[in-house]
Structure 1
Amino acid sequence: MRVAFNVIDETIWFIDRPHEPWTVQAEARAAGRLDDERLRLAVRSALARHPMARARQAPWRFWQPGFAWEIMEEPQVDALSIVDCPDDAALARIRSDLYGHPVPLATSPPLRVRLAHHAAGDVVLLGVNHAASDGLGTLRLLASIVRGYAGAPDPVPDVDPLAVRDLRTPLALDGLPGRIRHAAALVTELRRPKARIAPERAGDGPGYGFHLVRLDAGDTPALGSRRPPGATVNDVLLAALHLAIAEWNAEHGAPCERIGVMMPVNLRPPERRNEVVGNFSSFVTVATDPEDRGRPETTVAAVTAQSRRVKAGGPPGALVDVLATPLPRPLLLKEVTWGLLPFVLERGLDTAVLSNLGRLGEPLSFGADAGDVAEVWFSPPARMPVGLALGAVTIGRWLHLSFRYRHPLFDPGAAARFATRYVGALDRLAA
């Protein structure tokens, strides 16, 4: 069966680069040890349940108007590999290797899975080519793997997951005039220069580094009892990132006028907010100027006002509004267009990316033998000159933050220092 790429699939295909691949990170850590073959069966069960997890890119020619997926009955390659990690340093190398290499789309599935045996609990690492799915879809697929291993029920919504992929319908707004108005807002924002995070001890290697931080939400006042009035957890996470970037740049003597943080907006309907593997997210910019960052409360207020506008009237200036406007055809002209955009709009690209998947609706468990899922990690990619993507997901009382960075921006020590500054900014946001 063939299905067309939607506008987000196609966009990611064009901006993907081998040295900074657009892979989505999703990981689950077990309390105990996982059996290799039992996990292999769980992966195959998850692929069978979600059609886009079995997709491959159909052969194409530059004169065609667009790309298409072929949904395969069975995966063509074994997606799972098994590794032993004697310590955390070995696990970090496995993580960087998995997410730092492109996942091929020419064969099914468009993802790779690694089982890392570790003394502190085995880790299932899932890397999905972002052209095939967004963060929520990737986390949903990871949940299917965990439930399949445990032999637990894994219900899916009563919809055809391939028939709901057209993003133009939920973004119709008030028709073409509304789409043009929203596209104009995005173009205006892209024309405004954004600050760049000051690099520290950076190298020039390909791929990504990761710095993981686990916070007890109950012991982080800004996320709980002392959250600023009217602000959501997502607003607080966004505001802290704006403050951390401004303070980091001030420390390094780097300019920092307008900061823009790219934030995904989930386009799935509320009844299946966390369901269906695929790309169902648009992107908006949440921006602050120096006057917004004079005090923590003004930063939160500026961020909260923008997020409320998004919720009230749809994603203003959402990236997909521009993408839904027909680009030149055939594919050759589209590639030329996408190749020129970074040179035209690079100054207006956002400063960083933040994607918060929220709280897992129910605990995940690998079953009686391997125990509950103790940790869940997630992050989106970020190409230079952005270079930093912060992924957030909450399980129980624990907020998991994955600072994913390009090597031309940070080395591991610099990433750890930036993360510490971010946590400090969270603390200062407590009301």
Structure 2
Amino acid sequence: MARTTCEADRLTAEDARILKLERGTIAGHCCAIIVVDPPSDGEPPTLDGLRAHLAGRLDRVPRCRQRLAPTPLGVAPPLWVDDTDFHLDRHVRQLARDQEIDDEALRRGVARLMEGRLDRRYPLWSLHMARLSGGRTALLWREHHCMADGMSGLRILSALLWDTEPHPAATEPAARVRTPQYTERELLRFGLAARFGPSPDGGDERRARPDWRRAPAQARRLVAAVRRELLPGSDTSPLASRVGPGRTVDWLSGPLAELHDAGKAVGPGVTVNDVVLAVVAGGIRSWLAARHARAEHIRVKVPVSLHRPGELPDQVGNRDSFIFVDLPITEPDVRAQLIAISEETSERKDAHDAAELDALVRELRHLPLGDSAVDLTMSPRVFALNVSNVPGPKGPLYVMGGRVASIDGLAEVAQGHALRVAARSNLGRLSFGLCADPGVVPDLALITEGMQRSIDELLVRAGR
């Protein structure tokens, strides 16, 4: 009997756009590096133990058992359907053949994972385990960016991997949510209905118009936001190069509370996000100086989460907007950098630029060539690199009885943007993960060293 309704989730327009970014030398996944101390009352986890740990929790996140089912002729984004050939061993694996590795070897291993691809025939995630010195364990989680953004990715990890107690009480297993297997004809029929029919909430998205289309005051705010955010702003930087297949990675961190206080000592309106941007500015400034390159300013794209509090672990996908900020890289004083950055981010927040741009992007997608117009926001003429900051758990956290010592994150670069910085504020640390193309940035250490100097200078100025 032919099915009349589609019971599977479909990639949103934003998720589908992110999926399309994976082409040529650009992969599409993010990575979390989770270092776990040995349990105080037992041995470090084994690969078999880790697989068993996840097996009992996978049903909390149905997406982890689902693969993409493309729509014939590409008339609509793919569906998420159950992987009938799912095997946990395919996704949870050992790095370096169960040999103990040092921190440098760990970085090389993570770089290789960032260079690889997640196989679209299967669910778009993987977890690698590596043994470190001192009985520590590194867990390297990858997920495709079309599956989750930074915030929803943390919810997945919270459901699958860690607990807030070393030995939590047993809980009832989650009921497995299954999706049907659709024929090619059904996939095409449902795809056509998704493309030309009403939106899932019952309204017609093609006819829906945001308020700014009808209200002159809101339209003026949108025009102002576009002028601030989307007009070409970055000087041509060495980062605006063709990205190759190789990746180099690094990460560093500083004390979150002390850096928060250091920002407040500069000004009451300075936020942790401003501190993140000032630290990145210090790193880019040092790198450009070492290369004898000049740039008056570097514009960065700053994602702004639009997720709502209380979302469940299975409510995954991307839900964010963005603003652009000019980093004052010619300014040598980190305090002056912070003041300039804070003034700029405050202006954009007060004007609700992220919400205005979100409305604009959603509207453009309903217009002819709208996706091409949205793609222009990725131009290296508009911004030089992406800098995100995801607030995470305060801790403490445990994985199979071992305390989580650190959580660092990485995100893939984009064509024309050879460096990506992913910050996380969790477990009392403000961490920075850097991913770059070594053909464009062979000296990534110069950036991390400059960032570390900015962190140290902020702490000294705050008397920490």
- Quote the RMSD (CA, aligned, Å): 3.9
Q: Please name the residue that 2:307 is paired with.
A: 268
Q: Which amino acid aligns with 1:87?
A: I
Q: Call closer, same or farther: CA 1:44–1:180 in 2, change over 3 Å.
A: farther
Aligned residues: 409
| d(CA) in 2 for partners of 1:306, 1:362 | 32
Q: What SS does structure 2 have at the residue aligned with 1:234?
A: helix
Structure 2 counterpart of 1:41, one-letter code? A
Is the aligned partner of 1:49 residue 2:89?
Answer: no
Residues 301 and 322, structure 2, Cα contact 8 Å, conserved in 1:
yes
Whether 1:147 aligns to 2:162 is: yes
**Structure 1 CA distance, aligned partners of 2:79 and 2:227?**
30
* Corresponding residue to 1:307 among 345, 350, 355: 345
In 1, Cα distance between the equivalents of 2:105 and 2:81?
A: 35
Scaled by the length of structure 1, the TM-score of the pair is 0.80
CA distance in 1, matches of 2:395, 2:210: 33
The alpha-carbon deviation at position 198 of structure 1 amounts to 3.7
Residue in structure 2 matched with residue 81 of structure 1 by the alignment: 93
| Residue 71 of structure 2 corresponds to residue 60 of structure 1 | yes
| Match runs of 1:141-220 below 5 Å | 141-147=156-162, 152=168, 174-176=211-213, 178=218, 182=222, 185-186=225-226, 189-198=229-238, 205-217=244-256
Return 79-88 or 319-328, whichever deviates more.
319-328
Q: SS at the partner of 1:401?
A: strand
Q: What's 2:30 paired with? A: 24
- Distance between the aligned counterparts of 1:63 and 1:216, measured in 2? 47
Q: Which residue of 2 aligns with 1:350?
A: 383
Give the C-alpha shift of residue 380 in structure 1.
2.0
Taking the aligned partners of 1:311 and 1:45, their CA distance within structure 2 comes to: 42
2:450 to 412, 421, 430: 421
**Which of these two proteins has the greater Rg computed from alpha carbons?**
2
Q: Which amino acid counterpart does residue 114 of structure 1 have in structure 2? A: H
Q: Deviations over 1:90-116 (max 9, x none)?
A: 322321122221213332x11111111
**Matched letter for residue 318 of structure 2:** N
Q: 1:277 to 1:347 in 2, by over 3 A?
A: closer
Work out whether residues 61 and 314 of structure 2, in 8 Å CA contact, stay in contact via their aligned partners in 1.
Answer: no
Any unmatched runs of 5+ in structure 1? none
**For residues 118-177 of structure 1, what are the alpha-carbon distances to aligned partners after superposition, in whole Å with 9 as ceiling and x for unaligned?**
234111111111011101222222222323796637899xxx9x999x9x9xx9873545
Separation (CA, whole Å) in 2 of partners of 1:210 and 1:403: 5
- Matched letter for residue 36 of structure 1: L
With the length of structure 2 as denominator, give the TM-score of the two structures. Answer: 0.75
Superposed displacement of residue 31, structure 1: 0.6
Question: Contact conserved, 2:283 with 2:454, CA < 8 A, in 1?
Answer: yes
Give the Å deviation of 1:255.
2.8
The answer to whether the 8 Å contact 1:186/1:316 transfers is no
Q: Please, which runs of 5 or more residues in structure 2 have no aligned partner?
A: 1-6, 39-43, 180-199
* Aligned counterparts of 2:439 and 2:255: Cα–Cα separation in 1: 31
Question: Which AA in structure 1 matches 2:211?
Answer: D
Q: Which residue of 1 aligns with 2:425?
A: 394
**Secondary structure of the corresponding residue to residue 139 of structure 1:** helix
1:129 is aligned to 2:144:
yes
Contact 1:52 / 1:278 at 8 angstroms: preserved in 2? no
Q: Is the contact made by 2:100 and 2:130 (CA closer than 8 Å) also made in structure 1?
A: no
* DSSP-derived class of the 1:264 partner: strand
Give the Cα separation in 1 of the matches to 2:329 and 2:426: 34
- Aligned partners of 1:387 and 1:405 also within 8 Å: yes
Taking the aligned partners of 2:172 and 2:309, their CA distance within structure 1 comes to 17
Q: What is the letter of the counterpart of residue 4 of structure 1?
A: R
Aligned with 1:426: secondary structure? helix
Secondary structure in structure 2 of the residue aligned to 1:278: coil
- For the residue of structure 2 that corresponds to 1:125, the secondary structure is strand
**Paired letter, 1:50:** V
Q: Which amino acid aligns with 1:146?
A: L
1:235: Cα distance to partner? 0.8
Q: Is the 8 A contact 1:194 1:258 kept in 2?
A: yes
Following the alignment from structure 2 to structure 1, what is the Cα–Cα distance between the partners of residues 313 and 262?
A: 22
3-state SS, counterpart of residue 63 of structure 2: helix
Among 247, 252, 257, the alignment partner of 2:291 is 252
Q: Is the 8 A contact 1:193 1:347 kept in 2?
A: no
Tell me how far 1:24 sits from its aligned partner: 0.8
Which 10-residue stretch deviates more, 418-427 or 215-224?
Answer: 215-224
| Separation of aligned partners in 2, 1:373 and 1:147 | 8
Change (3 A) 1:294 1:124: closer
* Residue type of the alignment partner of 2:436: Y
1:383 and 2:383 matched? no
On the 8 A contact 2:301/2:385 being kept in 1, the answer is yes
